């Protein structure tokens, strides 16, 4: 049965902008987040506390947080290690995201450590994030650019481990965007045997145009949280061939058309997408934004 309400998690200001060649100033990033909040989005990734030499687009996340005045909005930030967590907490972050992958090869290229080492880091880090909600990201939940297809049982085991370590929610990522509905549904069904469906989220890239179909297939299992990126910005700088995230506008149009509520206004998300893509110097990837002209 389809959920009657879906929570959209906006990842554009972090996952979207980190893969853009243009470095967006903190004031513009903060303005984008504010526009998205005004559209009705209540959970918006504000940035990341990671090495600025590896991800320069996220270098000023503390300044972005300091600029924002959105007390009712959850603003998770990505951290990779204890230093990043300390910096995030010092900047006032109250929602933390940690990330690993269901592929040892991808972990080594993305995080500079093995999968087991990443879990050891989280076992040390998460208890230090007292008072914060911690979200866990699993990349390569359907396939890895280096290791090929990912067994659903591996994703389920990893999701259960992250939950046991203290993650309140697990976001399942099709990093390559190569998944199709049957595979996506099977993966989520396997994970739901180990982690309650209410603690799962979908994070699907649209490299092969399959993201909306994959999302719908998994919503039918009862998943009620979907990550999306305004204007379809993003991708993964560490995954060769990965396309952008599914566009928030496109997901919202589908959900509105199905009578599923989100509390988010499509026209305002479209406007926010055009605001940031005007700054980036290219049009939105979102099909809905382009169709609306």
Q: Which residues contact 145 (CB under 8 A, 6 or more apart)?
A: 106, 175, 176, 239, 240, 241, 242
The model's pTM is 0.95
Q: Is the separation of the CB atoms in 204 and 214 below 8 Å?
A: yes
d(CA 25, CA 46): 13
Q: Report CA-CA distances (Å) from 66 to 18, 29, 94, 124, 188.
A: 19, 12, 13, 27, 37
DSSP per-residue string spanning 206-239: -TTS-HHHHHHHHHTTT--EEEEBGGG----TTS
SS3 of residue 125 by DSSP? helix
According to the model, what pLDDT value does residue 81 have?
92
d(CA 50, CA 55): 7
SS3 of residue 2 by DSSP? coil
H/E run at residue 7: strand 7-10
Q: Which residues contact 69 (CB under 8 A, 6 or more apart)?
A: none
Q: Where are the domains of the chain?
A: 7-292
| CA 167 from centre of chain | 15
β-strand pairing of 148-149 with 143-144: antiparallel
Q: Which two tokens stand for residue 87?
A: 């910096």
Q: Which two tokens stand for residue 174?
A: 């099709």
Which residue(s) pair with 79 in the sheet? 49
What is the CATH number assigned to the segment(s) 7-292?
3.20.20.70
Q: Is the separation of the CB atoms in 54 and 110 below 8 Å?
A: no
Q: Which two tokens stand for residue 72?
A: 């009712």
The yes-or-no answer on residue 113 being catalytic is: no
Q: 107, 140, 218, 236: which is the annotated catalytic residue?
A: 236
Q: Tell me the pLDDT of the chain (293 aa) as tens digits.
A: 899 999 999 999 999 999 888 999 999 999 999 999 999 999 999 999 999 988 999 999 999 999 999 999 999 999 999 999 999 999 999 999 999 999 888 888 877 788 898 899 999 999 999 899 999 999 999 999 888 999 999 999 999 999 999 999 999 999 999 999 999 999 999 999 999 999 999 999 999 999 999 999 999 999 999 999 999 998 554 444 445 899 999 999 999 999 999 999 999 999 999 999 999 999 999 999 999 98
């Amino acid at each position: 049965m389809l959920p009657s309400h879906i929570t959209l998690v906006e990842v554009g200001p972090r996952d979207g902008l980190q893969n853009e060649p243009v470095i967006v100033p903190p004031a513009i990033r903060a303005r984008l987040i504010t526009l998205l909040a005004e559209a009705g989005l209540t959970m918006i990734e504000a940035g990341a506390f990671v090495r600025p030499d590896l991800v320069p687009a996220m270098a000023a996340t503390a300044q972005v947080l300091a600029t924002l005045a959105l007390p009712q909005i959850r603003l998770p930030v990505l951290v990779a290690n204890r230093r990043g967590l300390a910096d995030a907490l010092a900047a006032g972050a109250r929602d933390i995201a940690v990330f690993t992958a269901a592929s040892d090869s991808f972990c080594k290229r993305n995080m500079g450590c093995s999968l087991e080492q990443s879990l050891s880091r989280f076992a040390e880090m998460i208890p230090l994030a007292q008072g914060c909600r911690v979200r866990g990201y699993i990349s390569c939940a359907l396939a890895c650019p280096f290791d090929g297809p990912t067994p659903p049982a591996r994703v389920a085991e990893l999701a259960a481990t992250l939950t046991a370590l203290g993650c309140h929610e697990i976001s399942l990522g099709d990093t390559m965007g190569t998944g199709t509905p049957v595979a996506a549904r099977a993966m989520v069904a396997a994970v739901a045997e180990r982690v309650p469906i209410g603690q799962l989220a979908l994070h699907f890239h649209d490299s092969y145009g399959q993201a909306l179909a994959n999302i719908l297939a998994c919503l039918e299992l009862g998943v009620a949280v979907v990550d999306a990126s305004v204007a379809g910005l993003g991708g993964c700088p560490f995954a060769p061939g990965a396309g952008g995230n599914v566009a928030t506008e496109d997901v919202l149009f589908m959900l509105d058309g199905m009578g599923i509520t989100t509390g988010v206004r499509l026209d305002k998300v479209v406007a926010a997408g055009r605001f940031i893509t005007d700054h980036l110097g290219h049009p939105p990837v979102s099909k809905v934004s382009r169709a609306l002209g």
